[in-house]
Amino acid sequence: MGLFKQMKDMKDMVAAAPGAIDQANQLGASAQAMAAQQQAAAVQAMAAQQAAVASAATGPDFEPINGVSLALYAEISRDLAAVNHDVTQAPALANAKGVTSSDWDAAVAGWNARVQTTPAVGQQFNALYTGR
Amino acid sequence: MGFFKDINTLKQQGKEASKNRDPGQDLRNMTSMMADLNQSMVQTTAALAAPPADAVDATAQVVSVSSPTGFMNAESIVPVELLVLQPGLPPRPLSLAVMVPMTQMQRLQAGATLPVKISRSNPSALAIDWAAPV
């Protein structure tokens, strides 16, 4: 009696299994689609934000400071990285590019302040420094 | 009759499931995620373990943020490009994958400034101090 009942239960279980698997597959697919949608929206939002910051790469904040343009500032900064950011060598590296020590000090203070207040300056500096 | 049909359906579903899986690709993705995580932990540990004379509290400006490459302990692993800002020194670009607590995700935006801990002797060491006040 118990054996036949168990066989019937097994038959019912096997009959229900394909439907349950289909349902699980559908749930998985919709979860994946939702995750992809959310990720695409996040990427789009980030790209829009980055483009907005980069598009503002003109104006008085991009004017040279004591004759040191942002491109020259990035170039000397890259040279400084080659000497492991040894700040004592910065004036000599600047002099090698035709920038006096006092102009260099003014450029460091001025450009750093602009980078902090205007993210577009930071983005442009990063692009010039890394060449990307 | 119905029983054998159901068994056959289950067999087909099993075949379909294995056809759509690529264990090799899954393992490659996992290896790449582990590499990002490892790099993040090495850079963070180096910054946090720097001796007091070598450790510096600085700030970093977020230049760009990419999509998370994975999750670990409810934290996202996010590749970012930062500009490290220290008084008296020019900004220094740094690309790395950072682990971001779920509750801090909104702070990781292009143009945002974050408090960081860095090491004077190791330019690639950096830990974002999520607990520091904004």
Q: Delimit the domains of chain A by residue range.
A: 1-55, 60-130
Flag whether residue A106 sits within 8 Å of chain B, measured between CB atoms: no
Choice among A43-52, A103-112, B48-57, B120-129 with the minimum mean pLDDT:
A43-52
Q: What is the H or E stretch that residue B92 is in?
A: strand B92-101
Does the pLDDT of residue B122 top 90, yes or no?
A: no
- Rounded Cα–Cα distance for residues B39 and A4 (Å): 60
Q: Which of A25, A65, A76, A85 to mutate to test the interface with B (most CBs of B within 10 A)?
A: A85
pTM listed for this prediction:
0.70
Q: Residue A18 and residue B91: Cβ atoms within 8 Å? A: no
The residues facing B115 across adjacent strands are B59
Q: Is residue B4 scored above 90 in pLDDT?
A: no
Quote the pLDDT of residue A68: 95
CA distances to A54, A66, B40, B59 from A72, in Å:
19, 12, 31, 23
Alpha carbon A30 to its chain centroid, in Å, reads: 29
Please choose, from the candidates B83, B79, B113, B82, the residue with its C-alpha nearest in 3D space to the C-alpha of residue B99.
B79
Contact (Cβ atoms closer than 8 angstroms) between residue B50 and residue B122: yes
Predicted local distance difference test score (pLDDT) of residue B88: 87
pLDDT in tens, B64-118: 998 888 888 888 889 999 999 998 899 999 999 998 998 898 899 889 999 999 9
With an 8 Å Cβ cutoff, are B67 and A15 in contact?
no
pLDDT: is A110 or A56 the higher one? A110
**A36 or A53, which is more confident?**
A36
Provide the CA A4 distance to its chain's centre, in angstroms.
64
Check if the beta carbon of residue B32 is closer than 8 Å to that of residue B66: no
Question: By CA distance, what is B114's nearest residue in A?
Answer: A116
